[in-house]
Amino acid sequence: MHSEALSFVIAFLGGFLPSFVWLFFWNEEKKSAEPLRALILAFAGGMAAVFISLFLEKTVYNIDPNAISHGALWQAFLSWAKAVANMKNVALGQFLLVTLFAPIIEETLKFLAAYLLVLRSRDDEEPIDPVIFMITTALGFAAVENMLFLLDPLTQSSLHVSIYTGNMRFVGAMLLHTVSSATIGLFIGFNFFDTKIEEYFWGFTGLVAAILIHSLFNFFMIGSNSLVVLEGIWISVIMVLFIIEKVKRIRLEKIEK
């Protein structure tokens, strides 16, 4: 009983502490804190999205890929996916889940959570806000995902596996969720003062870009040198930071006009 409680505490801290560190870092980038209520809502929305995504991913994983569509395009894609999955020594179902279904499900749910809870609120008042809110939602998602991911090996008393997983999650998947969600926020932020139709268009475009980033990250992580992939993610983080600085200036430029 005590060991199970200790496992949960370790998994909770391992999952949430990195997210809180990243949340503090990203919010400091704005130099003026967002309303705490809005940040809590965004973070909680990301947390809730994990459980919905797990249900949907499990459902999709149990579907026969050939039954999804008999169209020529899908069948051609399946033939390619089978060849690549064999080359990477993974099952076709796993390959499709990791590189196609999971990115679509997770990025869409993170975006919907942020949109429904904070992006339509009065707290979303300047171009940088969608970026901060999307990142906060992503960190909530990553926190629960990390905790659940750590909890399984911990309950099996495999501390070595748990520590390795935690490190990889901190520098890998957490950065991925941050970059992909920040991408959506940047697309919205750059077009913050456009019409609603244009804003929806760029939000959808950002979502597609986030799905592609997520999919490519997972694709290259399968059977590849993870350090090389992580270097690419770190470069993406640096690029996001530079672009955030440009988004910050949009409001000033609007005022000056």
pLDDT tens per residue, range 64-85:
998 888 899 999 999 999 999 9
CA distance linking residue 65 with residue 53, whole number of Å: 19
Say how far apart CA 210 and CA 24 lie, in whole Å. Answer: 22
Which residue reads 């980038």 in tokens? 29
DSSP single-letter state for residue 85: H
* Most confident range, picked from 125-134, 170-179, 219-228: 125-134
Q: How far is CA 251 from CA 67, 84, 193, in A?
A: 50, 46, 9
pLDDT band for 204, please (50, 70, 90 cuts): very high
Report residue 34's pLDDT band, with 50, 70 and 90 as the boundaries: low
Residue 187 burial (CB count, 10 A):
23
What pLDDT score does 165 carry?
Answer: 47
Question: What CA–CA distances, in Å, run from 94 to 10, 63, 66, 182, 216?
Answer: 28, 12, 14, 27, 15
Predicted model pTM: 0.83
Q: How far apart are CA 124 and CA 192, in angstroms?
A: 10
The 10s digit of each residue's pLDDT in 1-27 is 455 555 556 555 655 676 677 667 666
Q: What is the dihedral of CA 185, 191, 193, 194, to 10 degrees?
A: -130
At 213, the pLDDT band (50, 70, 90 cuts) reads: very high
Nearest one of 23, 72, 59 to 182, comparing CA atoms:
23
- What's the CA gap between 91 and 85, in Å, rounded? 6
pLDDT tier, 185 (very low <50, low <70, confident <90, very high otherwise): very high
Spatial CA neighbour of 154 closest among 15, 48, 49, 21: 15
